[in-house]
Amino acid sequence: MASAEAWMDILVPCDALLPLIGAHSHQVHGGDGLDSIAGMLFSDPETGPAETLVAELRDYPEWHRGRKRYGVWVLPVVQPALLDYLARMRHALADLLHPSALRQPHVTVFVCGFHQARRRADDDFSSGLLRKQWALLCREAPRRVTLPLAKPDSFAGAAFIPVHDGEGQIARWRERLGSISEEVRQAAYVPHITLGLYRHRVDAPTIRQRLAALEAPPVALSATELHYVTYAARDSLGPLRIQRRWRLVGDAALPT
């Protein structure tokens, strides 16, 4: 099993799921370019991981230190065809992955930190910072975006569907949100939809063979809303609770 500290490196770029994050939070600085993800992906046979990293699903009090909820900006997945596809891919890898029936499929856009009334620790995210991010989004009015998807790939800790931000809309949202609050992140940002966390140690050739047998997504991701959500810090794979909803309508966005 990996240590609590290791989960920040595994799951902040992954999920997007964002549970099991390491006890000692710190930020990674620098760009999100392709050079910074070298060695992270099983699709790279030269520098990719040698085997999967098994997720230990438990409470991490040394990480949350009694804080209740963790906040993230996400793009929810709501298209029926895409949800059906994700269910099929998870079923195909069910012998390798932890079940995560309660966690809604999504693309993580920006990792905020522990949702708190006031900021006391460097990984806290205060209500005041959320209001400032929200106000900035309201002024900018982000547009609806269509994001192409690729065949499944994998980090050491989780299998996922790659998301391509060809028009740079996710990057622009991240830049705006990051101008208000520094993101909690241990590795390069890779937009994706998580399929699940590994529950068995499996070697790289086997993972590549299993992934190669999977089909490509049938449709692109149509991003119609941007959400600020929180999840219970003690429940690694629990449901996301919507705190703010930014509806993307045509060429303009309407706040709710």
Q: Would you give the distance in Å from CA 23 to the centre of its chain? A: 18
Identify whether the C-beta of residue 188 lies closer than 8 Å to the C-beta of residue 32.
yes
**pLDDT tens digits, 112-126:** 999 999 999 999 999
Burial of residue 91 (CB within 10 Å: 0-12, 13-18, 19+) is: exposed
Mean of pLDDT values over 6-29? 34
Residue 7 has pLDDT above 90, yes or no: no
Q: What is the pLDDT of residues 147-206, one digit of tens each?
A: 999 999 999 999 999 999 999 999 999 999 999 999 988 788 999 999 999 999 999 999
Does residue 128 surpass a pLDDT of 50?
yes
Dihedral sign, Cα of residue 33, residue 34, residue 35, residue 36: positive
Domain 6-17+42-255 in CATH 3.20.20.70: no
Give pLDDT tens digits for 196-249.
999 999 999 999 999 999 999 999 999 999 999 999 999 878 999 999 999 997
pLDDT confidence of residue 250: 67
Convert the pLDDT of each residue in 26-36 to its tens digit. Answer: 333 333 444 45
For tokens 């705006």, name the residue: 176
| β-bridge pairing 153-154 and 145-147 | unpaired
Residue whose structure tokens are 């047998």: 213
The full set of domain ranges for the chain reads 6-17+42-255
Predicted TM-score (pTM) of the model is 0.85
Label residue 86 exposed, middle or buried (CB < 10 Å: 0-12, 13-18, 19+). Answer: buried
